[in-house]
Amino acid sequence: MTRVALIAHDEKKPDLIEFALRHESQLETYDLVATGTTGQRLREETGLEVERKESGPLGGDLMIGAEVASGNLDGIVFLRDPLRAQPHEPDISALLRICDVHDTALATNLASAAFLIEGLAD
């Protein structure tokens, strides 16, 4: 089964929820994993089944990176706030590096996220 991680900085969580609702029929066919708070909100606000890792500040983004390194993820949607990211929020640089090393797709905005989700469906 296709496995996708979903991560969002605090200011982008509403955008990720809206994205998940728009693409719910596709996302429900995937095995989803997310950082803690993002995963909780996705479960509560969309009804999607999401495996929750730790919250970003507690290492959830690193846990997702480990899944990439283990070959257990097909793609990551990481909606980041390039202008107002807070120090406690996950840093994309480590995930970007591990995705590049393992040739795993990483989307950082809504347009690329839509392409990633649809591309994995093919």
104 is in an annotated binding site: no
Q: Which pLDDT score, from 0 to 100, does residue 85 have? A: 60
25 is in an annotated binding site: no
Q: Which pLDDT score, from 0 to 100, does residue 66 have? A: 97
Asked whether the whole model's pTM tops 0.85, one would answer: yes
Counted domains in the chain: 1
Q: Which pLDDT score, from 0 to 100, does residue 56 have? A: 85
CATH number, domain with residue 117: 3.40.50.1380
Q: Which residues are designated catalytic?
A: 61
Residue 43 structural domain = 3-121
Q: Which pLDDT score, from 0 to 100, does residue 90 have? A: 62
102 is in an annotated binding site: no
Residues 31-89 have pLDDT tens digits of 999 999 999 999 999 999 999 999 988 999 999 999 999 999 999 999 988 777 666 66
Of 89, 121, 119, 107, the closest CA to residue 10 belongs to: 89
- Which element (helix H / strand E) includes 43? helix 36-46
pLDDT average, residue stretch 90-116: 93
